[in-house]
Amino acid sequence: MRRRQLIEIHEQAWCPAAVREGATDCLQLIAVIGRQFRGAVDPLRRALAHADVPRIVDLGAGAGGPWRTLYPALQEATERPIRLVLTDLYPNVSALQAVCAQAPESISFVAGAVDATNVPVELSGVRTLFTSFHHFAPATAQAILQDAVDARQPIALFEQTHRSLAAMLFMVVLAPIAFLAVPLIRPFRWSRLFWTYLIPAIPFVLLFDGIVSCWRTYTAAELREMTAGMHEAYEWEVGRVRTALSPLGMSYLIGYPNEGGEGRKKEGDSVAMSGGGR
Ligand X SMILES: C[S@@+](CC[C@H](N)C(=O)[O-])C[C@H]1O[C@@H](n2cnc3c(N)ncnc32)[C@H](O)[C@@H]1O
The nearest distance, CB 8 to ligand X, in angstroms, is 8
From the centroid of its chain, how far is CA 140?
Answer: 16
The residue among 91 and 255 lying less far from ligand X, judged by its C-beta, is 91
The residue among 119 and 201 lying less far from ligand X, judged by its C-beta, is 119
* Integer CA distances (angstroms), 67 to 83, 88, 215, in order: 12, 14, 26
The nearest distance, CB 198 to ligand X, in angstroms, is 26
Q: Decide if 102 contacts 71 (C-beta within 8 A).
A: yes
Q: Decide if 250 contacts 37 (C-beta within 8 A).
A: yes
> For ligand X, which stretch binds (CB under 6 A), given 61-69, 169-177, 237-245, 249-257?
61-69
The residue among 82 and 250 lying less far from ligand X, judged by its C-beta, is 250
- The answer to whether 65 contacts ligand X (rule: CB under 6 A) is yes
- The answer to whether 59 contacts ligand X (rule: CB under 6 A) is yes
Residues 128-167 that bind ligand X (CB under 6 A): 130-132, 135
The nearest distance, CB 21 to ligand X, in angstroms, is 11
Binding mask 20-49 for ligand X (x = CB under 6 A): ------------------------------
The residue among 62 and 203 lying less far from ligand X, judged by its C-beta, is 62
Residue 145, Cβ density class (10 Å: 0-12 exposed, 13-18 middle, ≥19 buried):
buried
Torsion sign over Cα 110, 113, 117, 119: negative
**DSSP class of 264:** P
Give the type of residue at 17. A
Task: Using CB under 6 A, pick the residue from 60, 120, 125, 203 that binds ligand X.
Answer: 60
| Helices 220-227/138-151 angle, 10° precision | 50
- The answer to whether 17 contacts ligand X (rule: CB under 6 A) is no
- Tell me the site size for ligand X, rule CB under 6 A: 16
Q: Select from 159, 125, 118 the least CA-distant residue to 57.
A: 125
Helix boundaries (H) for 41-106: 41-48, 67-77, 93-100
Residues 104-133 that bind ligand X (CB under 6 A): 115-117, 130-132
Query: Which residues contribute to the site for ligand X (CB under 6 A)?
Result: 59-62, 65-66, 88-90, 115-117, 130-132, 135
